[in-house]
Structure 1
Amino acid sequence: MASPGERAGEPSDRGRPVNDVQLSKFLSYICRHGAEKKGLTVQEGGYINVDDILELREARKNGYSVSDVQRVVANYPKQRFSLRSKPNDDGKLQICANQGHSLEVKGLDLVPILRPEEAPVVVHGTYRRAWEQIKKQGLSKMSRNHVHFAAGLPGEDGVISGMRSSCQILIYIDMKKALEGGLLFYRSANNVILCSGDENGFISTKYFEKVYDITKGVKLDYY
């Protein structure tokens, strides 16, 4: 499957070259964070009318079309977006981000994880520069609604999203402890594991199972 970067410069319906990486970043911002700031209506499940997005100044400036959006959604390897025809209405095309929102979204397509065996591997990827802070406070959802985890390592069967392949440190979660501790975990449509943390948006280090610096090949202490 081709990535957006491999299709950068493909002509749009209007005959102008479209940078698919730039378009995917634009769609990510709108669907995850910026829809309300741009005056767009976010429907249940996080869906937004594609036509409304294409009327935004940035979209018109770059000549984006419906077919451009469809191509990026179809070819994006991490499957961060979903498309549908608007239900019970005029059948207009709508788009949503599968996860990663800072917007409050009702009815997002998330499946609760109720038992540890439903998610045998839950791992968060991060960078060495963030590790000292994580050791002190745990993982933070920061400005987003959830902390993101992968259901395995990048490239493994069924793992298409959840962490960047450039991550230096892997933090594995002890799901038995975390679920017993009252943390709520969900699986998104593109198989990303999500957790909003405790009442302050943190996941304590007491729920860590193991931590590795994969660039150095060493196990890290976090007590």
Structure 2
Amino acid sequence: MEAQRVSKFLSLVLRHKPDTLGITLNEQGWTDVDILLATLNQRGYRITREQLAYLVETNNKKRFAFSQDERQIRANQGHSVEVDLGYIEKQPPQFLYHGTATRFLELIRAEGLKKMNRHHVHLSADEQTAFTVGSRHGKPIILTIKAGEMAATGYIFYQSENGVWLTDAVPATYIIVENR
């Protein structure tokens, strides 16, 4: 089992295209582990329950979670398919960060951050994580988000199980662009 390859495929299936494997996600994004493993193995992804558990435990982004009885699995956030992950509103810190590529900066300055094809805009509690995320899309830039100010004016924030901060949108007025 090549862990990175399986992790990327699981992200695709559990966040965006469950039909790729012919599985279904329930309203909260869960799917049956036994069915997932059987289907993965039929498609050439040779993975055992123990290997799947190791992948969930050691994924540096904590993308996946098991249900309490470990019979079901889901992605923690980032879905483009309709699911209700049961997030609870949470007060954010004064500042959060968003990593993106410099080529998107002009549009962001004009329109702010939008969730696009996902359920939420993803924000990080630290600059290093934002930098890593931004690096995946080209020359990175870190945007500082005035999250405390946003929350004070009525914007709602959530925090996923893996620590990612989520909100519906970030207007340009709450974004600080610094040249680093």
Q: 1:110 to 1:130 in 2, by over 3 A?
A: same
Higher helix share: 2
In structure 1, what is the Cα distance between the partners aligned to 2:66 and 2:35? 14
User: How do 1:198-213 and structure 2 match up within 5 A?
Assistant: 203-208=170-175, 210-213=176-179
Task: Kindly state the Cα deviation for residue 84 of structure 1 after the two structures are TM-superposed.
Answer: 2.4
What is the aligned partner in structure 2 of residue 29 from structure 1?
12
In structure 2, what is the Cα distance between the partners aligned to 1:46 and 1:70? 18
What is the aligned partner in structure 1 of residue 121 from structure 2?
147
Task: Kindly state the Cα deviation for residue 37 of structure 1 after the two structures are TM-superposed.
Answer: 5.8
Task: Kindly state the Cα deviation for residue 192 of structure 1 after the two structures are TM-superposed.
Answer: 0.5
In structure 1, what is the Cα distance between the partners aligned to 2:37 and 2:18? 12
Flag the structure with larger Rg: 1
**Aligned-pair identity (%):** 32
TM norm structure 1:
0.70
Tell me the C-alpha RMSD between the 2 structures: 2.5
Runs of 4+ residues over 6 Å off in structure 1: none
How many equivalent residue pairs? 177
In structure 2, what is the Cα distance between the partners aligned to 1:100 and 1:34? 12
In structure 1, what is the Cα distance between the partners aligned to 2:80 and 2:134? 23
Task: Kindly state the Cα deviation for residue 99 of structure 1 after the two structures are TM-superposed.
Answer: 0.9
In structure 2, what is the Cα distance between the partners aligned to 1:163 and 1:109? 27
TM norm structure 2:
0.85
**Uncovered stretches (5+) of structure 2, i.e. residues with no partner:** none
Structure 2 residue 48 is matched with structure 1 residue 65:
yes
User: How do 1:172-211 and structure 2 match up within 5 A?
Assistant: 172-197=144-169, 203-208=170-175, 210-211=176-177
**Uncovered stretches (5+) of structure 1, i.e. residues with no partner:** 1-17, 87-91, 198-202, 218-223
Q: 1:140 to 1:65 in 2, by over 3 A?
A: same
SS in 2 for 1:142: coil
Q: Deviations over 1:126-170 (max 9, x none)?
A: 11111111112111211111110001123xxxx7x8952736211
What is the aligned partner in structure 1 of residue 141 from structure 2?
169
What is the aligned partner in structure 1 of residue 83 from structure 2?
105
